[in-house]
């Protein structure tokens, strides 16, 4: 058995769904279970519509909802059997009717609580998974829809729910595995789940990858495939520097570092259930299904290159915290990090001196409150014109002279911060936003002028 996850661009239209059906059909012998995201930008559109409603613009919300319903019906119609269309269209219309009633309720509330965000967000995957299951039947497969909320059990942290893995695995083993073994192609929505008492939850943006990993672990899959619109992980972010090389194979640890530090091709949490069950993860391109993609494995991947890939985070915020009270004092760092813990804001990178601490964050939701609390104990300055560049590779831990190569490549660029990660897998630098492209280009030329052909595609 394998798990195949398809993102929003892979199921955004009738043509895209037909392409997905062809990819899945070619792999029927491997007994696939399919996890899908919402169609195209449906989730973003739903949240924008809900915002219109709760802010009082109910007429505009209704108009936008009608547009979304028309788009969904239009793309679903060509991939459904004639005899099944009445049932599928009724399913779609019923869900949009529910949404319309829900928008009336939101308009009355005048706010958008987290549990309501989850409920609105869930409709995209609930619709797409039902449509894709029908499309599979249309194209000659035994497609079966399973509502993910019946098998993905989570805690109550709305919009960022954590799966209760043992309960998920038991339900997946009982419900999904037997159908897959019997030759049925189970289709589920990613990103969504429910609490033990039935309240809809979501796993956070990008959580469909996480869902696929949970499903793979729960059914004992031999492989988890993440189908997207790129050929796999590259040696650099194509949005910053086109022309990077495909990474054929990479370790879970390296992939997790890259995902956390900005590689959008993979959700950072995806690797956790896969690592625990030692299930390989493949990154593949639904628009180029013959490409071998990137294979992510548990063990270390030997490589002649020092660095496997360069990840970036644009528009990060650097906080500089300075106080003479830090000198020879214990407990001061704890007080600083207690502030970030209070506002549930992760810190990416930290450097320290005798009397100052510099750190980076990319979540600025509570920036004002964080700065206000820090200023009670120290002087604080904020720089929001920086980008973080992260070099990732297993060889970083044991390569002498790495810092010299990095600074040599960046000799014409001002490096604002530098740190080697505690995981020993990364070395990170902070530069000005305006220097990002030049910095990445220089580092890529330095570390990928020659390639290990076992690991990279030239």
DSSP helix/strand/coil, 154: strand
Question: Which tokens go with 357?
Answer: 């601490």
Whole-number pLDDT of residue 409: 96
Whole-number pLDDT of residue 228: 87
206: left (phi over 0), alpha (psi -120 to 50) or beta: left
Whole-number pLDDT of residue 205: 67
Per residue in 268-289, pLDDT (tens digit) is 677 789 888 999 999 999 989 9
Residues 77 and 14: beta-carbon distance below 8 Å:
yes
Distance separating alpha carbons of residues 155 and 288, to the nearest angstrom: 37
Report whether pLDDT(329) > 70.
no
Please, what is the average pLDDT of the chain? 93
Tell me the whole-structure pTM to 2 decimals: 0.88
Domains of the chain: 2-229 (3.40.1160.10), 309-447 (3.30.2130.10)
pLDDT band of 373, cuts 50, 70, 90 = very high
- Among 20-24, 287-291, 351-355, top mean pLDDT goes to 20-24
Whole-number pLDDT of residue 328: 61
Q: Within the chain, how many helices (H) and strands (E) appear?
A: 13, 16
- Among 41-45, 201-205, 419-423, top mean pLDDT goes to 41-45
Report whether pLDDT(183) > 80.
yes
User: Which whole number is the average pLDDT over 347-354?
Assistant: 86
| Rounded percentage of the chain residues whose pLDDT exceeds 70 | 97
Report whether pLDDT(384) > 80.
yes
Whole-number pLDDT of residue 405: 94
Based on its alpha-carbon atoms, the radius of gyration of the chain, rounded to whole angstroms, reads 24
In the DSSP assignment, the letter for residue 31 is -
Report whether pLDDT(255) > 80.
yes
Question: Which tokens go with 37?
Answer: 């995201």
User: Which whole number is the average pLDDT over 15-40?
Assistant: 97
User: What angle, 0 to 180 degrees and rounded to 10, lies between the N-to-C axes of helices 82-109 and 58-76?
Assistant: 160
User: Which whole number is the average pLDDT over 53-74?
Assistant: 95
Report whether pLDDT(326) > 90.
no
User: Which whole number is the average pLDDT over 247-262?
Assistant: 88
Whole-number pLDDT of residue 360: 94
Per residue in 88-106, pLDDT (tens digit) is 999 999 999 999 999 999 8
Residue 405: in which H helix or E strand, if any? helix 402-409
Whole-number pLDDT of residue 94: 97
């Amino acid at each position: 058995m394998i798990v195949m996850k398809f993102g929003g661009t892979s199921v955004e239209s009738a043509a895209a769904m037909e392409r997905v059906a062809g990819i899945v059909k070619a792999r029927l012998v491997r007994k696939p279970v399919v996890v899908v995201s919402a169609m195209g930008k449906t989730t973003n559109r739903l949240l924008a519509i809900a915002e219109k409603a709760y802010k009082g613009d109910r007429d505009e919300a209704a108009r936008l909802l009608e547009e979304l319903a028309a788009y969904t019906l239009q793309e679903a119609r060509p991939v459904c059997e004639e005899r099944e269309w009445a049932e599928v269209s009724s399913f779609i219309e019923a869900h949009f009717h529910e949404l319309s009633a829900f928008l009336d309720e939101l308009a009355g509330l005048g706010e958008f609580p987290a549990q309501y965000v989850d409920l609105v967000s869930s409709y995209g995957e609930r619709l797409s998974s039902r449509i894709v299951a029908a499309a599979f039947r249309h194209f000659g497969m035994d497609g079966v829809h399973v509502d993910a909320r019946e098998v993905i059990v989570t805690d109550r942290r709305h919009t960022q729910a954590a799966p209760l893995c043992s309960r998920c695995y038991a339900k997946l083993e009982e419900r999904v595995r037997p159908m897959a073994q019997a030759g049925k192609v189970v289709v589920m929505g990613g990103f969504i789940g429910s609490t033990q008492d039935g309240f809809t939850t979501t796993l956070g943006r990008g959580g469909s990858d996480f869902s696929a990993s949970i499903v793979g672990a729960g059914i004992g899959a031999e492989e988890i495939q993440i189908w997207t619109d790129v050929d796999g992980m590259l040696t650099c972010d194509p949005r910053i520097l086109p022309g990077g090389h495909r990474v054929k194979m990479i370790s879970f640890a390296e992939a997790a570092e890259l995902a956390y530090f900005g590689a959008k091709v993979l959700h950072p949490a995806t690797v956790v259930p896969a690592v625990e069950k030692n299930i390989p993860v493949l990154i593949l391109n639904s628009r180029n299904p013959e490409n071998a993609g990137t294979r992510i494995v548990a063990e270390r991947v030997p490589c002649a290159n020092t660095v496997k890939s360069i990840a970036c985070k644009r528009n990060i915020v650097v906080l500089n915290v300075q106080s003479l009270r830090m000198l020879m004092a214990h407990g001061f760092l704890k007080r600083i990090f207690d502030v970030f813990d209070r506002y549930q804001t992760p810190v990416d990178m930290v450097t320290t001196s005798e009397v100052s601490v510099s750190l980076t964050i990319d979540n600025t939701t509570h920036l004002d409150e964080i700065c206000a609390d820090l200023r009670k104990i120290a002087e604080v300055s904020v720089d929001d014109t920086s980008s973080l560049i992260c070099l990732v590779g297993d060889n970083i831990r044991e390569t002498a002279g790495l810092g010299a190569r990095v600074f040599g490549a960046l000799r014409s660029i001002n490096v604002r911060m530098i740190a080697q990660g505690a995981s020993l897998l990364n070395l990170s630098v902070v530069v000005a936003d305006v220097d990002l492209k030049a910095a990445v280009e220089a580092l890529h030329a330095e570390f990928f002028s020659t390639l290990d052909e076992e690991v990279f595609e030239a």
